[in-house]
């Protein structure tokens, strides 16, 4: 077990973490980055990425994250596999402490959090087997691949309604699977989907099985009142039942909202503790796109650099 000193500790990878590393490394901060439990973030389970600038022919999600990692390493980022398991932030803006899974103790002048968020899933085997083969947790990311096709979406909140509306503009038919006889979404969002001709809401319905061997070919649903099973031919199946931010280790130290997302000061990456910054999906429950995550990673690195510069000026 060793003690590691760093100007900048980055917890988590993905577009936010790697972008923060690129900027921090170029600023001479010699960042130390821990990849986390899902190196590269959610893009490592995304097949085709066509909406990220700079890849005119599209790119596979895992390859894109390899490119990001190589660029961060090129400028001198110390990239390590594994998890940060525990943190202790100095509320007075002093040295922040963290411990990795091997027991190493890290002393960091600044910390950038980019731990992301994990999509909530239904928990059925076919959902895992066909993930990336027609099953997706992001309609905005993957809906384009199903243009002029029939798809299904599960969920009853604002996100599900927004994504159903989005899909309705590019898909020929959208089946919206709702477990009860009402939605949790706001009235305006409910009215929007109810008034969209090519959205069919299946009330009191739950997913029994996603059909298909190599890719999605349909979904079998069960009526919760009658028990009747019905098969619907679709090529895409979207899960929109929410995300869980990966922020548990920060509870009790950083300000979180009611669903666990890190709270940052408006227009910045600053948290409630000096020298600790948040980026990516761990603090963004609205957009959740690779390009916006990368943008906030850049913000966090710039904020960290300015924080250190101001601190050094005072101490000089």
**Residues identified as active-site:** 138, 141-142
CA 101 to chain centre: 23
Question: What is the phi-psi region of residue 239: left when phi exceeds 0, alpha when psi lies from -120 to 50, beta otherwise?
Answer: beta
**Beta strand 276-278 pairing with 229-232:** unpaired
How many other β-carbons are positioned within 10 Å of the β-carbon of residue 50? Answer: 13
Q: Which residues face 153 on adjacent strands?
A: 176, 238
Asked if residue 43 lies in contact with residue 14, where contact means CB atoms within 8 angstroms, the answer is: yes
Asked if residue 136 lies in contact with residue 239, where contact means CB atoms within 8 angstroms, the answer is: yes
Picking from 75, 96, 99, 97, the residue whose alpha carbon sits closest to that of residue 85 is 99
Question: H or E segment at 135?
Answer: strand 135-136
Distance between the two ends of the chain, CA-based, in angstroms? 33
Asked whether the CA dihedral 238, 137, 260, 295 is positive or negative, the reply is negative
């Amino acid at each position: 077990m060793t003690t590691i000193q760093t100007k900048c500790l980055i917890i988590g990878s993905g577009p936010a973490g790697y972008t923060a590393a690129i900027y921090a490394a170029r600023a001479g901060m010699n960042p130390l980055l821990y990849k986390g439990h899902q190196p590269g973030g959610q893009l490592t389970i995304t097949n085709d990425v066509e909406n990220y600038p700079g890849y005119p022919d599209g790119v596979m999600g895992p390859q894109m994250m390899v490119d990001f990692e190589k660029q961060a390493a090129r400028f001198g980022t110390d990239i390590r596999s594994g998890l940060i398991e525990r943190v202790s932030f100095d509320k007075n803006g002093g040295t922040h402490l963290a411990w990795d899974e091997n027991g190493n103790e890290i002393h960091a002048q600044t910390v950038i959090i980019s731990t992301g968020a994990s999509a909530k899933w239904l928990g059925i085997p076919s959902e895992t087997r066909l993930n990336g083969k027609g099953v997706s947790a992001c309609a905005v990311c993957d809906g384009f691949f199903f243009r002029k096709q029939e798809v299904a979406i599960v969920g009853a909140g604002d996100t599900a309604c927004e994504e159903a509306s989005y899909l309705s503009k590019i898909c020929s038919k959208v089946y919206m699977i709702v477990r009860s006889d009402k939605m949790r979404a706001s009235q305006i969002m409910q009215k929007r989907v109810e008034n969209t001709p090519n959205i069919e809401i299946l009330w009191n319905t739950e997913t029994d099985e996603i059909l298909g061997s190599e890719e999605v070919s349909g979904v079998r649903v069960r009526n919760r009142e009658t028990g009747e099973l019905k098969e619907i031919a679709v090529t895409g199946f979207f899960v929109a039942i929410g995300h869980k931010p990966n922020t548990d280790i920060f509870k009790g130290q950083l300000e979180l909202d009611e669903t666990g997302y890190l709270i940052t000061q408006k227009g910045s990456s600053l948290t409630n503790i000096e020298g600790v910054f948040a980026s990516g999906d761990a603090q963004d429950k609205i957009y959740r796109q690779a390009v916006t995550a990368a943008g906030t990673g850049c913000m966090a690195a710039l904020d960290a650099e300015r924080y250190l510069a101001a601190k050094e000026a005072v101490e000089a």
